[in-house]
Amino acid sequence: MTTTYHFDLIKQIAEHIDQGIVQENNKRTPRTYIGGSSLGNDCARQVQYRYMQTKKDEDFQARTLRIFEFGHHIEDMIAGYLKNAGFDLRTHSTKGEQFGFSVADDQIKGHIDGVICGGPVKMDYPFLWECKSANSKKFGEFVRKGVTQANPTYAAQLALYQTYMDLMDYPALFTVMNKDTSELYYEFVPFNAELAQKISDRGVEIIKATRANEMLPRIANESDYFTCKFCDYRNTCWT
């Protein structure tokens, strides 16, 4: 009986915590612009739905929100590692604001993880620093293939940020932590002007289409396409 009693209490505690996480997330003001980190997504229509503030088919569950928050903590942790190692990493302005950019009449915005302006390694500075985290499977793909092949969305984000932050001269430092093993992967990513232009043009295309009340084409002809299966707007898009 005692075991059952404790199990019931634990269940209630877990439910209250999850509810609190979801409720806190729902208080956040929705974006009214296109985030630079999402412009490289496979499907432009998905990005357009976000820009239009279309309601997702399902709200994020507490577990997913914890994963997002965990990623932010990892970013702060690795930033600390770089600073402790003697690198001059700048993540915020003197006013405490995260470095970022705003273009197209504030319709496209992005916030970078940081800029490395100097350090103990003799090399060219400054350069963009972007940090991600991944499970072992995804981490292995970064190690084997590099970011451009392993995650084109991240590659597009790097190119866009290098452009608008005027950090095109030297390769960006892309860092990934394995959330399962705490391994770290580092990669220098040279500026890709062609990709940056392509992603910038996509942003303009999404804005124009939305203002004209037009929906961009779907990425596929069937809803069981791989990208569509994991889309937050799958039902909205296909029904």
pLDDT tens for each residue of 93-123: 888 889 999 999 999 999 999 999 999 999 9
Phi, psi angles (nearest 5°) of residue 85: -80, -5
Q: How many CB atoms lie within 10 A of CB 39?
A: 23
**pLDDT for 1 beyond 60:** no
For domain 31-238, which CATH number applies: 1.10.1660.10, 3.50.50.60, 3.20.20.70, 3.90.320.10?
Answer: 3.90.320.10
Task: Encode pLDDT of 41-83 as tens digits.
Answer: 999 999 999 999 999 988 889 998 898 898 889 999 999 999 9
Q: Say which residues have a Cβ less than 8 Å from residue 71's Cβ, sequence separation at least 6.
A: 132, 133
Q: How many CB atoms lie within 10 A of CB 55?
A: 12
Q: How confident is the model at residue 126 (pLDDT cuts 50, 70, 90)?
A: very high
Q: Where are the beta strands (DSSP E) in 105-216?
A: 108-111, 114-116, 127-134, 172-178, 184-189
Nearest to 203 by CA among 55, 37, 53: 37
Task: Encode pLDDT of 138-188 as tens digits.
Answer: 999 999 999 999 999 999 999 999 999 999 999 999 999 999 999 999 999
With b for 16 or more beta-carbon neighbours within 10 A and e for fewer, the 191-215 pattern comes to: bbeebbeebbebbeebbebbeeeee
Q: Which long-range contacts (CB under 8 A, 24 or more apart) does 215-224 make?
A: 215/45, 215/48, 216/44, 216/45, 216/48, 217/44, 217/45, 218/43, 218/45, 219/42, 219/43, 219/44, 219/45, 219/46
pLDDT score, position 203: 95
Residue extents of the structural domains in the chain? 31-238
pLDDT score, position 94: 85
**pLDDT for 15 beyond 80:** yes
Nearest to 169 by CA among 148, 199, 190: 190
pLDDT score, position 29: 81
pLDDT score, position 59: 85
Q: Say which residues have a Cβ less than 8 Å from residue 42's Cβ, sequence separation at least 6.
A: 152, 153, 219, 227
> Measured between alpha carbons, how far is 40 from 199 in angstroms, rounded to an integer?
6
pLDDT score, position 68: 86
